[in-house]
Structure 1
Amino acid sequence: MFYRATSIVPVLVLAALFPACAAEKRASELELKTERVIIFKDGYSLIIKRGTATSDKAGEVFTDEVPDAAVLGSFWATPDQGRLISMVAGWKTTKDSAEKQLPCTQLLEILLANKGKSAKIELHDKAIFSGVIREVLVDKSEAAVPAAQFELLDLASPTATKPSPAILPSRVSRLVPEPSTAVHTLTTVSGSNFVLRTDEGDVLLPVTQVRTISVKDMQTTLAKTLTTTKRTKRLSFKLEGAEKKQSLAIMYFRPGIRWIPTYRVSLSDKQDKKATISLQAELLNEAEDLEDVPVDIVVGVPNFRFRGTPSPLVLEATLRNALAEAAPDLMGNGSQQFSNAMYSQRSGEFRREQAGANAGAQGTINLPGELTGTGAQDLFVYSLPKLTLGHGERIAVPIFTAETTYRDIYTWEVHATKTDNAAAPSGSGAASPLTLSKNEVWHQIMLTNNTSVPWTTGAVMIMQGNQPLAQELLTYTPPKDEVRVPVTVSVDTRGSLTEKETSRELKSLTWDGYNYARIDREMKLDLCNNKALDIEAEITLRVGGKATKATHDGSITLGDFNPADWVQYRGQPAVNNSSTIVWKVKLKPGDNFEPSVQYHHFTRH
């Protein structure tokens, strides 16, 4: 059967592609395997790897698996035996060539692919020649691979971009890998003439004059050489002993892997005030593939002074944090709310107290046998089972489930601010423009950590049966302590506040050339329990001035001047304190609690 090709056929769409055989690894190239990963909440991790290889005649082994990020001073290599003489980081350029069968896209390539076959050639002037394609006169050269052929050659597109992370559809989500930086070239042919051997002799024909060509079993693909040039990093290690099997441990501290603690607290429907608390770790990996690797997650953040400075051994000018690029909402300033050291929420809301004698016995944690927790100085480590987590993946791993106790508490946080009005020369002066920042009574729960492990700061979902009650922040709580977690505003518990001036003394104080009047005030609070059950309540009042007396055993704490207590303050900060008064009380249904506090402040006149 004959096939006819014409000069107007643009592209042949069939190709037989044969992958090139990978070159064998050199004996001196380390076969690295990740032995352990220690992950911190701030997005940094310690990677520990081990590799084996046979050193060459110079006593050197090497690896091209150089991390793209590592913190200054954290990159270390330690041989199992002997000593490390030196570690060299550099760049190495390699070229790999492979034969690829690609579709013929021009008539010249059809002629070259069918060289040695019988052909019938028709020219544009209707002349017809029959014979064997003896020779195709071509020049071969190297050219960059067109972008359109990347998919055909199974190459990573140089223009591929990493998509921004979307809402994860499941507990594990794969993202697109980083684009390739290799340079690919392909052999190309050019020429104008070919030689056809006919019965009358060899005929030199111009390719541009060929109208059609007919060949039996026409070959439509042409072998071309694909050359891939890569500039890769290389770490070389010089060790004691030449041509000897060596085992080497490598560790480095890098950004890119983070764990986020999330809690679920299920409150009992009964009156026994029992709760079940569960912790899971949500891991984000934007660093490197982890395959069947033991993972430790750490409560606490280590002190790495040079965490923003790259190690020169990774050959990078800056410390790239791929996790911050892939998940900016989780790694931005707002993410620090999960830090154990940050409590920027409502005043007094997350106060922790030492549990009393009635805290109960130590709870039993339903830990799997292979999952344990150990203490390490000021850090606490949870050791997880072996995990497989690819670059760009997320995973959720249960840590523990424990039974604990809780109690309800109703808190009223009162912050009374006032305008710094000038005192009148006589009389009672202007009325105090008292303003409450908020007048809300919050229902909170006090959870007792009666387990043997600390609770790290993390988001918590509070449930009662199938009913969600709230989502809040559970702050760091060591064993035997209590933590306060807000649930919701209590609409059945209301508070009110009134204030009156009791005395005024003009020119009571002279400071920096100004006269200050002393104004004494009395503030009364009223908290009413409209619920159908007994409640435990706590009132916290903060006011600008010096509190001198509080009824109902109120606890007074004096602090330095706080500008948040005042509006348009005109005086010297040194003349006024900031006072915090706390009352604790138990109220029966319908009861009112009416404490009062006497305080004074100075205002310039």
Structure 2
Amino acid sequence: LTLVLLINLTFANNSFADSRKIPIKEISVFKDGHVFVLHEGSLSTNGNGDVLVDYLPNPILGTFWPYSADTNAKLIGVSTGHKKVAVERTALTIQALIAANIGAEVLVTEKSISGNMPSERYIATILAIPTRSSEEIALTSIPNSPEQLSTKAGIVLLKTTNGTKVLSIDQIQDITFKNSFNPKLTEEEFRNQMTLRLDWGKQKSAQAAKVGLVYIQKGIRWIPSYRISLDGNGNAVVKLQATLLNELADLEDVNANLIIGVPTFAFKGTIDPIALQQTAAQLSQYFGNDTGRLNNIRSNSVYIDGLDSNDISRQQIVGSQAIDSSTQARGENLGPDIPNAGQTEDLFVFKLKNISLKKGERMVFTLAEQTLKYKDVYIVDLPFSPPSELSGNINSQQQLELIRLMRTPKATHKIRINNSGNHPFTTAPALIIRDDAVLAEGMLTYTAIGASTDLEITKAIN
């Protein structure tokens, strides 16, 4: 009797993994890629009344805060480490099927040593695969050696009519089970695991406990962009669109808060030791520090012609009167250890519900749309003279060129938008459209409610 095994991995048992995950309930996303994450859920407890979690975040130092939401259990501590766990998986090799069916009766077919010799076949009972246990390895290792997994031999012990046969598993061509068999194999492996230690007081621990985690780490960001449609009569339809990038974890029906503002995380370059890692996880280029003008969008900073975007790290607020770019101060990158660096405006939050997004996916959606007033303005810069320090460092031809440029100033056509809406503008690319035709794309800067800002359309060429 030969049994044919058809293994369907789609229906693999995932109860082990699901029982040790705390679902994400809410995220608060900053434009620089940092995200405040809240996990909460009911997980099964072990024999000690503690909760085991396989997921370990990479939080910023000082931002990891676990808690117990169970009124009967108090959280007394959290520990993380490389723990040995038993995991059941579908057996995919002959060796795995043999290990999963110790004691089964099988028909063994050995590989032929010579092409002219027929394969040897016989009935046998699987006795064991010789194994060195973790305990045995620990006893024979030097003190303080790291824990190791059990080591299985490449041989199998078979009970035959002639006695116990020791056979190399590589020598087995196939096996035929005489009766039903177990297609699953439970094996040990190391995993980074978190243990939430709970105190149940004088009562017996429950089978499950409601626990949660909050922390800040890099892994989800949102990128804003604007579409400004002009009607030519002083009305502009301003639409804000958000692109959400998820490289942290699967999100399912979570509440998402998209935040306008500049966060200050003094230890954003330091991973909390609870993560058991020395460096943060590798993310895509959209989360790096060398993405050109995207740095302006992340930090709500103003782009000034002629300045590298990395030099402008702080938010520059546009007040009640529009400020021309030539008069704006250059922001300094003071680093994360300077209190309130770049914190020149209050945070504004767009609240979204029921967001589902798998890790590695992106999502684009409209956040807001409003009709605002605008007017056309034409600005001409009239420089008085170059700095006196410059004259000694340029030749006569360059001096003549400077004089020529000062005598032929160029006018810049801009639109001045009054933000009379219910949320501030954030620093983002802005596509300007009129009569279904594209006029320009510029950078809309942070503008508080009630303030005005200028957005360049074009420069006169003669």
> Normalization by structure 1: what TM-score?
0.53
Highest RCO, 1 vs 2 (Cα 8 Å, sep ≥ 6): 2
Unaligned runs of 5+ in 2: 96-103, 133-148, 308-315, 323-344
Corresponding position: 1:40 with 2:40: no
The percentage of counterpart residues that share the same residue type is: 22
AA partner of residue 247 (structure 2): E
2:75–2:196 contact (8 Å) kept in structure 1: no
**How far 1:273 sits from its partner (Å)?**
1.5
1:65–1:234 contact (8 Å) kept in structure 2: yes
* Residue number among 243, 248, 256 corresponding to 2:219 in the alignment: 256
CA distance in 2, matches of 1:460, 1:477: 13
The 3-state SS of whatever aligns with 1:386 is strand
Structure index of larger Rg: 1
2:46–2:52 contact (8 Å) kept in structure 1: no
* Residue number among 398, 401, 424 corresponding to 2:366 in the alignment: 398
Residue in structure 1 matched with residue 196 of structure 2 by the alignment: 236
* Residue number among 412, 417, 442 corresponding to 2:386 in the alignment: 417
1:32–1:49 contact (8 Å) kept in structure 2: yes
Describe the shift of the 1:463–1:185 C-alpha distance in structure 2 as closer, same or farther (beyond 3 A).
farther
**How far 1:239 sits from its partner (Å)?**
3.1
2:300–2:426 contact (8 Å) kept in structure 1: no
1:355–1:480 contact (8 Å) kept in structure 2: no
Residue in structure 1 matched with residue 255 of structure 2 by the alignment: 294
Residue in structure 1 matched with residue 336 of structure 2 by the alignment: none
Corresponding position: 1:327 with 2:286: yes
**How far 1:95 sits from its partner (Å)?**
3.2
The 3-state SS of whatever aligns with 1:338 is helix
CA distance in 2, matches of 1:125, 1:474: 78
AA partner of residue 230 (structure 1): F
2:319–2:452 contact (8 Å) kept in structure 1: yes
Describe the shift of the 1:39–1:133 C-alpha distance in structure 2 as closer, same or farther (beyond 3 A).
same
Q: How does 1:172-571 map to 2 (within 5 A)?
A: 188-189=154-155, 227=187, 229-241=189-201, 242-244=204-206, 246-268=209-231, 270=232, 272-318=233-279, 320-323=280-283, 325-327=284-286, 332=291, 334-339=293-298, 341-346=300-305, 352=318, 354=320, 378-415=346-383, 416-417=385-386, 419-421=390-392, 433=400, 435=402, 436=405, 439-491=409-461, 494=462
Residue in structure 2 matched with residue 74 of structure 1 by the alignment: 63
Describe the shift of the 1:355–1:274 C-alpha distance in structure 2 as closer, same or farther (beyond 3 A).
farther
AA partner of residue 86 (structure 1): G
**How far 1:283 sits from its partner (Å)?**
0.9
The 3-state SS of whatever aligns with 1:263 is strand
CA distance in 1, matches of 2:399, 2:191: 74
Greater alpha carbon shift after TM alignment, 278-287 vs 132-141: 132-141
AA partner of residue 93 (structure 1): K
Describe the shift of the 1:382–1:194 C-alpha distance in structure 2 as closer, same or farther (beyond 3 A).
closer
**How far 1:49 sits from its partner (Å)?**
1.4
Q: RMSD in angstroms over aligned alpha carbons?
A: 4.9
AA partner of residue 50 (structure 2): E
What is the number of equivalent residue pairs in this alignment? 389
The 3-state SS of whatever aligns with 2:83 is strand
CA distance in 1, matches of 2:49, 2:15: 23
**How far 1:303 sits from its partner (Å)?**
1.9
Say which structure is richer in strand: 1
Describe the shift of the 1:430–1:254 C-alpha distance in structure 2 as closer, same or farther (beyond 3 A).
closer
Say which structure is richer in helix: 2
AA partner of residue 387 (structure 1): I
Describe the shift of the 1:134–1:295 C-alpha distance in structure 2 as closer, same or farther (beyond 3 A).
closer
2:319–2:447 contact (8 Å) kept in structure 1: no
**How far 1:85 sits from its partner (Å)?**
1.9
The 3-state SS of whatever aligns with 1:451 is coil
Unaligned runs of 5+ in 1: 3-13, 105-112, 144-182, 357-376, 423-428, 495-605
Describe the shift of the 1:470–1:321 C-alpha distance in structure 2 as closer, same or farther (beyond 3 A).
farther
AA partner of residue 210 (structure 2): S
The 3-state SS of whatever aligns with 2:91 is strand
